[in-house]
């Protein structure tokens, strides 16, 4: 796994809101997919989707660019405050190589969905 | 975009492009058409690679794959290149599903772009398969090369030394 990606996953899993003595809220974040949807107001997913390109030389790959995505599902229209925290982590660990790919509302479940695509070097 | 024209300097380049009626915008559009075609072909191929399973309601918060019917709707919608938009010194286009209409899916009617987006980005009850993002990201280098080659070819035809 690319180091940048591993660091991003760790940072996303460590995202919290609130301070002690108030309850600290964490965002349930799965790598890849949730087998069963968590019963929470908001939850997230992060995964490495595919290899975009590679720099080759001396019959080996010198560097590889991967593209991945982060998803946030929330019952609240503003993402319950998680949107700026996720985009902040993307900016810090992907050096700005990310963009909001989609923002949808699911009528069936009442969930708002954000998807960000990012690129990392491995 | 890295295509090269042998000139002595920027003034010379401007003088040469000035000889063309539209300042080279027509040639740029021809190049863009080639590149957009490469992208559209890649997306069409990617649709064929979408993994499916027979439709079932995603109960209990579990996820499902797209159904063969959903995949067939995308395959029949065809991927195409939008009408070119020329603004000043720029020319732009988009690649997407040609049919922006609706499709019958079981008892419901859904917009085709919505079905494509649900498969590409996933939903809370459908597995994500980023076929569009993967095709366009991986085809960038090939599309760029096609644009460069076409522009080079058209400039050689002009012989505006």
Judging contacts by C-beta atoms under 8 Å, the chain B residues touching residue A111 are 124
Question: What is the separation, in whole angstroms, between the first and last Cα of chain A?
Answer: 7
Mean pLDDT of all residues in A19-41: 85
- Are A117 and B133 within 8 A, CB to CB? yes
Judge: A71–B128 Cβ closer than 8 Å, yes or no: yes
**Chain B contact set for A50 (CB, 8 A):** 130, 134, 137-138
ipTM score: 0.87
Chain A partners of B60 at a C-beta cutoff of 8 Å? 36
Report the C-alpha gap between A22 and A17 in whole angstroms. 10
Tokens of B13: 């380049």
Angle, CA of A55, A59 and A60, to the nearest 5°: 50
Which pLDDT does position A95 carry in this prediction?
83
What does pTM read for this prediction?
0.83
Q: What is the dihedral of CA B11, B16, B19, B25, to 10 degrees?
A: -100
Q: What are the pLDDT digits (tens) for B61-112? A: 778 899 999 999 988 887 778 888 888 778 888 888 766 688 888 888 888 8
- Here the contacts of A90-97 (C-beta below 8 Å, separation 24 or greater) are A90/A8, A90/A116, A90/A118, A92/A11, A93/A4, A93/A7, A93/A8, A93/A11, A93/A120, A94/A4, A94/A8, A94/A118, A94/A119, A94/A120
User: What is residue A72's predicted lDDT score, i.e. its pLDDT?
Assistant: 97
> What is the pLDDT, as a whole number, of residue B159?
65
Contact between residue A58 and residue A32 where contact means Cβ atoms under 8 Å apart: no
- A73 to chain B: nearest residue by CA? B124
CA distance B74 to chain A (A): 19
- By three-state DSSP, how is residue A85 classified? helix
Answer yes or no: are the C-beta atoms of B103 and B78 closer than 8 Å: no
Residue B2 scores a pLDDT above 90: no
CA atoms within 13 A on the CB side of A48: 19
Test A50 with B123 for CB contact under 8 angstroms.
Answer: no
| Tens-place pLDDT, residues A1-17 | 888 899 999 999 999 88
Secondary structure (DSSP) of B5-54: ---SSHHHHHHHHHTSTTTTHHHHHHHHHHHHHHHHHHHHHHHHT-----
How confident is the model at residue A24, as a pLDDT? Answer: 86
Per residue in A58-117, pLDDT (tens digit) is 778 778 889 999 999 999 999 999 999 999 999 999 988 999 999 999 998 999 999 999
Choose the closest CB to A36 out of B60, B127, B141.
Answer: B60
Cis peptide before B154 (omega within 30 of 0): no
| Contact check, Cβ <8 Å, B130/A69 | yes
Q: What is the pLDDT of residues B113-140, one digit of tens each?
A: 889 999 999 999 999 999 999 999 889 8
The strand pairing partners of A117, in sequence order, are A69, A99
- What the block records as the tokens of B154 is 């058209």
Gyration radius from chain A CA atoms: 16
Of the listed ranges A9-13, A50-54, B38-42, the least confidently predicted one is A50-54
Q: What is the pLDDT of residue B116?
A: 92
CATH topology of domain A3-121: STM4215-like (3.30.2000)
Mean per-residue pLDDT of chain A: 90
Query: Residue for token digits 């920027």?
Result: B10
Contacts of A101 in chain B (CB under 8 A): 121, 133
CA distance B133 to B121: 9
Check pLDDT > 70 for residue B7.
Answer: no
**CB-CB neighbors (< 8 A) of A108 in chain B:** 125
pLDDT of residue A69: 96
């Amino acid at each position: 796994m690319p180091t940048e990606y591993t660091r991003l996953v760790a940072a996303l899993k460590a995202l919290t809101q609130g301070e002690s003595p108030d309850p600290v809220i964490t965002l349930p974040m799965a790598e890849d997919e949730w087998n069963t949807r968590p019963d929470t107001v908001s939850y997230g997913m992060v995964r490495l989707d595919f290899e975009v390109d590679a720099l080759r030389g001396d019959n080996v790959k010198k560097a590889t660019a991967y593209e991945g995505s982060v998803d946030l599902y929330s019952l609240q229209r503003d993402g319950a405050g998680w949107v700026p925290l996720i985009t902040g982590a993307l900016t810090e660990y992907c050096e700005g190589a990310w963009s909001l790919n989609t923002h949808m509302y699911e009528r069936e479940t009442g969930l708002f969905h954000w998807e960000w695509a990012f690129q990392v070097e491995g | 975009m890295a295509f090269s024209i042998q000139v002595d300097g920027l003034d010379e380049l401007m003088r040469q492009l000035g000889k063309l009626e539209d300042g080279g915008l027509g040639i740029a559009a021809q190049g863009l058409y080639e590149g957009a075609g490469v992208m559209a072909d890649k997306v069409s191929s990617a649709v064929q690679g979408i993994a499916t399973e027979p439709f079932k309601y995603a109960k209990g918060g579990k996820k499902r794959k797209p159904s063969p019917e959903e995949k067939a709707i995308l395959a029949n919608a065809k991927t195409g290149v939008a009408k070119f938009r020329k603004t000043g010194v720029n020319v732009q286009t988009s690649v997407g599903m040609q049919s922006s209409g609706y499709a019958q899916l079981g008892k419901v009617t859904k917009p085709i772009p919505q079905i494509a987006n649900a498969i590409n980005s996933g939903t809370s009850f459908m597995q994500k398969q980023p076929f569009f993002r993967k095709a366009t990201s991986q085809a960038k280098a090939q599309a760029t090369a096609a644009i460069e080659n076409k522009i080079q070819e058209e400039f050689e035809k002009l012989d505006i030394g």
